[in-house]
Each structure stands twice: as structure tokens, then as C-alpha cells.
Amino acid sequence: MLTHKDIWDGIDALAMRNGLSPSGLARRAGLDATTFNVSKRHSRSGRQRWPSTESIAKILDATGWNIEEFVGLVRRDATIGRTQHIPILGFAQAGKHGFFDDSGFPVGSGWDQAEFPAVGDPDAYALKVTGESMLPVYRAGDIVILSPAANVRRGDRVVVKTTSGEVMAKQIEHRSRDGIELHSFNTEFPTVHLAAGEVVWLARIVWASQ
């Protein structure tokens, strides 16, 4: 049986897995930004308030998750309040050889280690944002955590490495066997179209230090 805390922790974890805050998750689903605020989880008298089935259905639709995956997240992977040591690297270094294997998993000894909120993936790694190409979503100095094993869906924020060695953070607009279309956060940068053969690896952003 899922408890009141389980459900709310699951919503928090779903937001984290999609690189969002609970408020950001609510907005993506077309809900009021305060829908999942901590203050909404209990009444003034202390009575438990449960999220509506409609709001849960909307956040699942907005993130591409199904109810079975959400229940699995609640039961197995809700890691709110826990931390893990995660390897961290700068974006500029990520474009160089020797830091990733052919599948996009971190390798080598050039990584630093830092403690971050647990994301439930032992292979997760972090990149430190530099420059202004990811504004206004990510600013220089922000940290993004990526899960190379996570499923990627339309609308997800991802980091992609190309065969030219470029590493970029974008949002998926469309993906097929032939290639991928990526939306740029910064309006001064165009939409990126990559053929499948131009993508070395791609990983979903599951947490950001915003």
C-alpha cells in the first residue's frame, strides 16, 4: 500500500528525474505552479492532503511516464533526502577524448567527485555549465546531473555529444532512427538537426542545481 508520503515523494522524484522542480513539473503539466508545494500537502490542522488523480495523470502525460513506471519510482527509486557521490566534469572537458566510453558512460581518472542528491543511477555523472549558450535555462556555474541509462522522450532536456566533439544541452523536439531535432534554450541559437551517425552519445538531464 502506498502512503501519503510515498505519493508525494514520488512526485518529487519524478520532477527530479526530468530535471525540474515540483513547481516546474506542475507548470509543464499545465497546472498551477503551486499545485505540488509542500504547503499544499497538509491542511492547517495537519490533515493529510493527497494529490488528485487528475493532476497525477497530467504530470505523467507531460513527462511521458505511465502509471506502472510511476509506481515503480515510488516503491524503488524515490531517493529524496539521500545523497550520492557523483563524478563531475566541465562541459569543455566533456568534448575531449578519454572521459566517456562508446556508450556515453563516464570512464577514466580525470573526474572530480562531489556529493549530490541521489538520483537512483550508479552511473550518473555531472557536468558544470560554462558560457551563455544555455541561457536562460542553465547559467554558467550551474550543475546538471545526467543518467546515461535513462529513457529519453520528446520534451526531455538532454546533453548530446557529436562526432565533431561538441557537447551541448538541448531539449528534444523530435527523434527517429534517422536523426534527432534539438531545441536550443537560448533563442540566439538555432534548432539543431543531427543525423543518427552524428550523435556519439546522448543522456537525459535528471537534476539541475538551479
pLDDT of residue 103: 84
pLDDT of residue 88: 95
- 177 contacts 145 by C-beta, under 8 angstroms: no
pLDDT of residue 6: 85
Question: Which candidate, 65, 57, 29, 18, places its Cα nearest to that of 171?
Answer: 18
The SS3 assignment for 167 reads strand
CATH of domain 83-208: 2.10.109.10
Element (H, E) at 16: helix 4-17
Residue span(s) of the chain under CATH 2.10.109.10 come to 83-208
pLDDT of residue 203: 94
pLDDT of residue 79: 53
pLDDT of residue 133: 85
The SS3 assignment for 126 reads strand
Place of cell 538555432: 190
Residue span(s) of the chain under CATH 1.10.260.40 come to 4-77
Homologous superfamily of the 4-77 domain (CATH): lambda repressor-like DNA-binding domains (1.10.260.40)
> Has this prediction a pTM greater than 0.75?
no
pLDDT of residue 200: 93
pLDDT of residue 52: 94
What does the pLDDT profile of the chain (210 residues) look like in tens digits?
678 888 998 898 888 878 788 999 999 999 999 999 988 899 888 899 999 999 999 999 998 888 877 887 776 555 555 678 899 999 888 988 889 988 888 988 889 999 887 777 888 999 999 888 888 888 899 999 999 888 888 889 999 999 998 899 999 999 999 999 999 998 889 999 999 999 999 999 988 886
Whether residue 136 has a cis bond before it, omega within 30° of 0: yes
For 80, the grid coordinates are 529524496
Please give the span between the terminal C-alpha atoms of the chain, in angstroms, as a whole number.
34
pLDDT of residue 77: 54
Residues with Cβ within 8 Å of 76's Cβ and at least 6 positions away in sequence, in order, are 120
CA–CA gap between residue 199 and residue 185 (Å, rounded): 19
CA–CA gap between residue 107 and residue 29 (Å, rounded): 36
The bridge status of strand 199-208 relative to strand 192-195 is unpaired
- 115 contacts 85 by C-beta, under 8 angstroms: yes
> Please, where are the H alpha helices in 32-141?
53-63, 67-72, 91-94
